Structure 1
Amino acid sequence: MGLIKLFILLVLAYIAFVFWRQMKAAQADKRRAAPPQQPPKMVRCAQCQLHLPEHLALRQDDKWYCCSEHRNVDQQD
């Protein structure tokens, strides 16, 4: 009776191992198939010269700003 339980345990362990390998292979395929991401375009704040991603910057006319305070200070000048 103990030998049957050992055999069943080995079979279940083998199935789990094969399943784990297939999952790892699928993850690796997804990583290889994904197109490389481009770094975000960086812009410089006209007031403090800080570089930040364009999608986080504020634009006024042809100038970029890191925050509304810097945009307002520059408009007052």
Structure 2
Amino acid sequence: MKYLVLLVVLVLAYGWWRSQRRAQMRSHTDAARQGATRPLAAPQDMVACAHCGLHVPRTEALAHGANHYCCTEHRPPHAG
């Protein structure tokens, strides 16, 4: 008789654990769906550094004339 009670308790505990796990997976899936429906950021125009060739967004590049640079170290000293 005590083994039957133990078996029932184990089955109930397993059922509760599975229901909690399913709820957690469902909430994770819903959050992933909401994240996937967010609009993506608009693509940015990229330019290559005239010194090293690294591509950086135009908004972050340091411009000097027709050339663009990725950092102040790569910008020529006469560029100011």
- TM normalised by structure 2 equals 0.59
1:15 and 1:64 mapped to 2: Cα distance?
Answer: 57
Q: Secondary structure at the match of 1:69?
A: coil
Cα separation, partners in 2 of 1:35 and 1:6, compared to 1, 3 Å: same
Q: CA deviation at 1:61?
A: 4.7
Letter in 2 for 1:52: H
2:47 and 2:68 in contact (8 A); partners too:
yes
Question: What residue number does 2:27 align with?
Answer: 23
Q: In the alignment, does 2:40 pair up with 1:70?
A: no
Which 5+ residue runs of structure 2 have no aligned equivalent? none
2:73 and 2:36 mapped to 1: Cα distance?
Answer: 44
Letter in 1 for 2:53: L
Number of paired residues?
75
Letter in 2 for 1:68: T
- TM normalised by structure 1 equals 0.61
Cα separation, partners in 2 of 1:59 and 1:66, compared to 1, 3 Å: same
Which 5+ residue runs of structure 1 have no aligned equivalent? none
Q: CA deviation at 1:13?
A: 1.9
Q: RMSD of aligned C-alpha atoms?
A: 2.9
Is the helix fraction higher in 1 or 2?
1
1:18 and 1:51 mapped to 2: Cα distance?
Answer: 46
Q: CA deviation at 1:65?
A: 1.3
